[in-house]
A and B are shown apart, each in its own frame.
Chain A
Amino acid sequence: MRNIFGWMGMREQQRALEASQQHMEQVRQVVHLLKEALDQFAAGNLERVREIHEQVTAAEREADELRRDLLDQLSEGMFLPADREDLVHMVERTDDVADYANAASRLLVLFQEAPPEELREDLVRFGQLLVRAVEQLAQALDQLLDGQRRETLRLCTAVERCEEEGDALKASLYRRLLALDLPAGALLLLHDLIEAMENTADRAEDSADLVRVLAVKLR
């Protein structure tokens, strides 16, 4: 379309996608910090976990601000991107990734002692898995901006695989958890932690689904 209004709408779309890329970068940082917190938790360095959690909270707050700016931009312009609803949903789901990662980090702070030996390996693996998911999600958005539709779709599928791996890890963690004789408080906290990590992976998949929708629509 060469129409001037259509062209301006496309430009706004490009600007919004660039802003969502900045937001994604912030979400990436949150998930990387969560992984670091999980590593330290598994190693029993609870003091370090608290320090990292403060960084997670600050990074998550920054992501929230970027999301608000982007939504303002999408709602106040005189020319609006054609696919603004999908963009808004994508940014909201991406922001949920940071929210759940922050929730998981907040739970880590509540532990008074290191996790049982039997759970440590899976917890560390879950952290790595979340980093892999968010890295692939960020790359998918980069590829979308570069107009690389095929590569975008491939990366979105890779995020989906991560989520499936997350489901398997969650099941493995629950099996191990049930085999342990833990106090109710610790059991509850670990359950919530596993749920928060799984939700982080789920939201990354939801976000990837919306990146996929944009990739198809922006052809």
Chain B
Amino acid sequence: MTLLSLLILLSGVFVGWNLGANDAANAMGTAVGARVRTIREAVIIVAVFSLAGALAFGHRVIKTIGRGIVPLDQLDPRQATLIALAAMLAAGVWLLWATYLKLPVSTTHSTVGAVAGAGLAAGGVPIFWGQLVDIFLAWILTPVGAAIVAYVLYQALQILVMRHVAIPDRIWGWLLTASGMWMAFSWGANDVANATGVIVGASLMSPFAASLVGGLAIVLGIATWGYRVMETVGTRITHLIPPMAFIAEVAAALNVQLYTLLGLPVSTTHSIVGAVFGVGLVFGRAAIDPRTARDIVLAWAATPLAAGFVSAVLFLLLARIV
């Protein structure tokens, strides 16, 4: 393995670690908050199910990121390696910066923007604009779809079940665990591509090996930092009651799972934001303050452009140096 290949791999592992550290709480934070799972149990559940998701379905989105935006496998190996390296470094740098500034940016948007940015900077490289348009539409539909599904599911749960029977806390505990498992599974399946998609594109690994490496990097992030975030989010920040959390997670997981089957990289974070908003509507609450929503949309729009720009600059620099 060359030094450049090793750098791509390390950048991918860093992106995977960042994912695990920051986003594990999305799946099981609510179960920890509702005291139905301990942090230790939650960490193990998220680690196991995100890895399982990555191994079972990760290859679908990996192919899109690695070959569907810029056909890295059909390019000259040097050019493909440089594009992959620039994209992974840009995504990693962008995520590091966003984590430092505590900005809610999407890893998916960073990676897709970075791959497209490096491809454009390379010049003469085919860019699959149709695929990019599909991804862009999926990004718009992700929060909207999750909100609608969450709203409908919660109404149905209220009308068909909660009005007739009182569900014991113990059952909610298991339901929350199950929805958290599905959330972790669908998150691992869709997001592992952000870490190792371009590694497959640059033909450095098979899709399965990349899913395994990316999945393990995510597990590393969960084990080293994710539990702290889970503790803070679960016990000190979210105030979702179990039925609310259950439906939000089911809606978000369903949404992400659907896009994974279509091979489209979408933001798990945005799916959750949409689902929580939908559940909040049932309660008649403005779950998300308009200023907060505006900033999420701004981060949504700026992330692919910024990551793409950084990636393009890095590609031009690398092309001169290497």
Interface residues of A (CB under 8 A from B): 1-12, 15, 76-82
Contacts and interface: CB of A to CB of B under 8 A. Distances in A.
Residue among A11, A12, A15, A82 facing the most chain B CB atoms (10 A cut-off): A11
A6 B105 contact: no
Nearest to B277: A78
Contacts of B103: 2, 7
A53 B177 CA distance: 59
Contacts of B98: 2
Contacts of A4: 26, 104, 269, 272-273
A3 B229 contact: yes
Contact of B288 (A2, A3, A6, A8): A8
Contacts of A1: 22, 99, 102, 229, 232
Nearest to A75: B239
**Secondary structure dominating the interface of A:** helix
Contact of A6 (B232, B240, B280): B232
**Among A4, A7, A9: residue with most chain B CB under 10 A:** A4
Nearest to A13: B237
B237 A5 contact: yes
Interface residues of B, number: 34
B236 A7 contact: no
A2 B280 contact: no
Nearest to A84: B236
Given A4-B273, A10-B102, A79-B237, 5 more contacts: A1-B102, A3-B22, A8-B104, A15-B289, A82-B232
B189 interface: no
A20 B56 CA distance: 50
Given A1-B229, A2-B95, A5-B29, A78 B238 contact: yes
Give the interface centre of A7, A9, A12, A76 by most chain B CB atoms within 10 Å. A7
A77 B18 CA distance: 28
Contact of B104 (A7, A76, A77, A78): A7
A45 to B, nearest CB: 47
Contacts of A79: 237-239, 287
A12 B104 CA distance: 14
A121 to B, nearest CB: 50
Contacts of A82: 232, 236-237
Interface in B6-62: 18, 22-23, 25-26, 29
A2 B102 contact: yes
